[in-house]
Amino acid sequence: MGCGCISMGLHACGNAPITDRRQLKIIPESTLNSKAAQIYEKVKEKEKLSEDKKTLDRIIEIGSKIEYSVSEYFNRNNLDDPTKNFDWEYILIDNKKVINAWCMPGGKIAIYTGILEITKNDNGLAAVMGHEIAHAVAKHSVERASQGALINYGTRIIDITTGGKLSQINQTTGMNAVGLLSQIGIMNPFNRKQESEADYLGLIFASLSGYDIRETVKVWERMKEKKKGKEPPEFMSTHPSSDNRIIKINEWIKKVILDYPPIV
């Protein structure tokens, strides 16, 4: 696809912050931010929000430190602040069965109470929040939406030029063969690349915010123990395996601590 630069123009390409990885961006960020804000409101209506104000205050405090350090890092280095259009917000969802956290485009963050048994402390919580915020800072949702749009467009063109061969395959097999191949061969590896990038950027953001990023390894060790070997094969997953994550994080930690000290 050549990052879409040739067929769609240079304006469709960009670079991920800090890592400088080339990205395809044909979907406007403002569009996703607007949709994310609407979905976030629906989540708040549907889910049971925790009444644990003390824990929510901790989450907001950690998030505020990360907000500041990320923005300050880019400003001090005379770089465009990727969070300048964010409208930050935090909720704590009361669901111990869900071990998850996420950050929507535009800085809309949710933490499920189930993940608190994995994070254990502020350093662990900062590790998870740094990772999720990194997805939004690096515009991974914009990238995935753009990639998906390009694949759908390309699939339709191929189907037309081959006289409907792809449609015939789907009808014969009773499944979306092209969609499955795209997911395994393109989207999943693509998403794993984003996950690794979020791991790396998350370490940086937590370190800039003054948290001990050595706790990140312990978080993933606890996550691995919780899964009890039930992870799917990596090629079938959108996420790197826990073992591979731990290896890479251990490789990055010392350099991140040295290169990205806390911002005062």
Break the chain into its structural domains and give their ranges. 14-143+182-259
Residues in the chain: 264
Pairing of β 108-112 and β 89-93: parallel
Q: Where are the alpha helices (DSSP H) in the chain?
A: 5-8, 29-46, 53-76, 116-119, 122-137, 140-161, 165-173, 177-182, 188-208, 215-227, 242-259
C-beta of residue 135 within 8 angstroms of C-beta of residue 12: no
Q: What is the pLDDT of residue 24?
A: 85
**Beta strands per DSSP E along 3-61:** 13-15, 22-24
Report the pLDDT value the prediction gives residue 228, as an integer from 0 to 100: 76
Distance CA 214, CA 216 (A): 5
Q: Which of 132, 195, 197, 215 is catalytic?
A: 132
- Identify the pLDDT of residue 12: 66
Residue 175 to residue 166: CA distance in whole angstroms: 11
101-104, strands of its sheet edge to edge? 89-93, 108-112, 101-104
Report phi then psi at 112, rounded to 5: -95, 140
**pLDDT per 10-residue tile (average), the chain, 264 residues:** 43 84 88 92 96 98 98 97 97 96 95 97 98 94 77 54 51 48 46 91 98 97 83 56 92 98 92
pLDDT value of position 160:
52
Q: Which two tokens stand for residue 92?
A: 């704590």
Known catalytic membership, residue 89: no
Dihedral sign for Cα 63, 67, 72, 78, please: positive
Contact 152, 160 (CB under 8 A): no
Locate tokens 């040295």: which residue?
Answer: 258
